[in-house]
Homo-oligomer: A and B are copies of this chain.
Amino acid sequence: MKQSKIPQATAKRLPLYYRYLNNLNKQGKKRVSSKELSEAIKVDSATIRRDFSYFGALGKKGYGYNVEYLLGFFRSTLDQHETTEVALIGAGNLGTAFLNYNFTKNNNIVIKMAFDSDENKIGTEIGGVPVYSVDQLQEKLGDIEVAILTVPVSEADAITEKLVEAGIKGILNFTPVRITVPDNVRVHHIDLTVELQALVYFLKHYPLD
C-alpha cells in the first residue's frame, strides 16, 4: 500500500494519464509514444517518461508504450478496479453541479450521498443522490472516507469538525476557508476565487507575448 517515494508532482499527473489512455484505448489505438502523449496533455515528454519510470520499465525502446498494458497498469495503481464512495456536503449551486456530474464515467468514484441543511432539499434526490440532513452525518456516513465540501463559508468550520468526528480522512474543500483538521486528515483546497485572481495576475504581470 505504501510504495512511497513517488513524487507528489507525479502522483498528481497520474489521473491525467489514466484518462487519456482510456480515450486512446476506446479509439482502438494500440501504441503511443511519450511524444504523442506530451502533445495531447501538454506535459513535457521527458517528464512523462520520468513519471512512468518510477513504476518500472513500462515501455519498449523504439516502440513506445502499449496502450492496453499501460492502461491496465494505471487502473490498478489508481485503484480503479474498486469503487470509491464519497459524500458531498452542501447541495447549493456548486454542490448540485457535482451531483449532476457523472464521475463514474471514466472513474470508479461515485457520490453516494449528499447532506444539506435546507428542509426543502432533505429527503429528496438530486442527480440520483439522496440528500440527508447535516445532523445525520454521523449515522449515515458509514465507512465513507472522502468528502466534497461545498458549503457556505459560515458553515465550513463547524461542518469540518463534524466530518472529522464522523471519521472522514480526506476533504476536497471548495470553500475559501483554510479549514483546520487533525494531522491524519488530508485536505485539498480548490479555491475558485483564488484561481481566477491568480489567472488575472499572471495575465497582467507575466505577459506571454
Contacts and interface: CB of A to CB of B under 8 A. Distances in A.
Interface string A1-39: 111101010011011101100000000000000000000
A201 B78 contact: yes
A203 interface: yes
A200 interface: yes
A40 B191 CA distance: 15
Given A202-B170, A203-B146, A208-B185, A197 B109 contact: yes
Interface in A182-203: 183-186, 188, 190-203
Contacts of A42: 178
A46 interface: no
Contacts of A92: 97
Given A11-B205, A109-B200, A190 B195 contact: yes
Contacts of A133: none
Nearest to A79: B204
B146 A200 contact: yes
Interface centre among A42, A78, A93 (most CB of B within 10 A): A93
A195 B172 contact: yes
Contacts of A2: 205-207
A170 to B, nearest CB: 5
Interface stretch (A56-64, A98-106, A116-124): A98-106
B93 A196 contact: no
Interface of A: 1-4, 6, 8, 11-12, 14-16, 18-19, 40-42, 78-79, 84, 86, 92-94, 96-98, 100-101, 103, 106-107, 109, 145-146, 148, 169-170, 172, 176, 178, 183-186, 188, 190-209
Given A12-B198, A86-B196, A109-B193, 19 more contacts: A2-B207, A14-B198, A15-B193, A16-B194, A19-B176, A79-B200, A79-B201, A93-B96, A93-B97, A94-B97, A109-B196, A109-B197, A146-B200, A170-B200, A170-B203, A172-B195, A172-B196, A186-B202, A188-B199
